[in-house]
Amino acid sequence: MKLFRITALSCLFLCTCLSVAQSNKKNILLLCIDDLRPELNCFGASYIKSPNIDALAKKGLIFKNHYVNAPSCGPSRYTLLTGIYGPPQNDAIFLRAKALKNKNNSVNLSMPEWFRKNGYTTVSIGKVSHHPGGEGGVDWNDPNVIEMPNAWDKHLMPVAEWLHPRGAMHGLANGEIRKNSKDMDVFQSTEGSDMIYPDGYIAKEALHQLEQLTADTTKPFFLAVGMIKPHLPFGAPKKYLDLYKGVQLPPIPSPEKPIGISTWHKSGEFRRYNLWDKDPNVDKQFADEVRRHYAACVSYADAQVGKILKKLKKTGADKNTIVVLWGDHGWNLGDHAIWGKHNLFEEGLRSPLIISYPGIKTKGKSTRAVVETVDLFPTFCELTNVEIPNFTNGTSLLPLLKNEKKQGHVAFAYRGGAHTLRTQRYRFTLHDKKGAELYDHEKDPFETTNISDINLDKVAELTLLLKEKIQAKAKSTF
């Protein structure tokens, strides 16, 4: 009996220690913003009203040269959530799910599944994977078609009057759902509260989940919240557009269509909407209207971020939470005569990244080191003392978080029949159908002059490096 008592007490002590150790693990709050180019006040765009993201930046490190691995929602989020380079298609995450269903043993654990395995409660709200809510089917609400099996304890998408996630994804004010794109205005500004657009409900659900997650002190949480705006169509409550009344917008730095081989396209996604027979490439006034409505959407998304961060602080969990703000790719607002994403220019690939956590050594600083989205999986692991899996393609950003002057590395991306590298100085893009682009960012930061023909040695050097990345991608897909 005496031995049993000691053993029971020992077990109780051990369980208590494990519980305390688990609760001391850092939480993760991942804020994903759709189609957000790094045009924020804290990134140097002084005309943009982004006070909440700016406040987060003052508490963390700004990565001014962060690049996604694909300039489209699906494949970019694939790399974020798996830590590996993947298929370039928009349904990349669903392709992974299909491989899992076929019992493909080469499919590695996703990032949320990895943290779930390591004792975390994982919750996603809004657009974190490609479909808001993480389901497929006709209206993206079929519980039998899951984008990321085994990843989330909860994957949520409040739809309110938009009826279903597909309706909310491209929804405008007060329940307007996209049926025929040509019948939906490319931008809109409507009187009302934040709740007249879907992101208001996403933020509200995030506040509710934070209450529940922080109430459980025995398990750390991984909470991912995905805002839809500023994705097309550009709709936001009027009060956010009013912020830009009379504001002088800077000129578009590289408005001309590129000459020669490139990943330029006709802005098909943008031009599917009602443009009132106007073309922003020739109508400057209309171009500025589009840009102001985009800016209004940025400020609207910023306001939702503010609500979530305020709630995190109110719960007290901010003292033990890593907060990361990530944009899933850039967006050309007339740069290179493109209105949209889907290109391998700087504007299509560069996106905001801010990392903040209690005790960060680089608080309020910024780095120009080149980094990429696949780096986030190993970074989250190192920051939480979770083992880094051996299959990730990325490199932990912890050295930069300790010293912003540390060097980065090359960033790799792909789109259709082209692959690109961004070094600290150059962008190099190689096309499968022969041809290359080389831009010197020290002399040509807006990538207007292709110098590949007169820099053959640099082309040869970067071709070898790029092919190594392409081989790594081929090995890591599924």
Residue numbers annotated as active site: 73, 130
Q: Whose structure tokens read 């987060």? A: 56
- Which of 64, 30, 36, 31 is closest to 298 using CA atoms? 36
The b/e string for 357-394 (b: 16+ C-beta within 10 A; e otherwise) is beebebeebbbebbbbbbbbbbbbbbbbebebeeebbb
Beta strands in 213-313 (DSSP E): 221-227, 234-237
3 state DSSP class of 433: coil
CA distances from 11 to 3, 218, 352 (A): 12, 17, 47
Spatial contact of 75 and 89, defined as CB atoms under 8 Å apart: yes
CA distances from 91 to 3, 283, 375 (A): 59, 35, 22
- Which of 358, 471, 376 is closest to 414 using CA atoms? 471
What's phi and psi for 467, nearest 5 deg?
-65, -30
CA distance 121 to 110: 14
- Which of 338, 341, 367 is closest to 355 using CA atoms? 367
* Residues contacting 230, CB < 8 A, separation 6+: 33, 34, 35, 36, 294, 297, 298, 300, 301, 331
Partnered with residue 224 across adjacent β-strands are 30, 124
With 0-12 / 13-18 / 19 or more C-beta atoms within 10 angstroms meaning exposed / middle / buried, residue 36 is buried
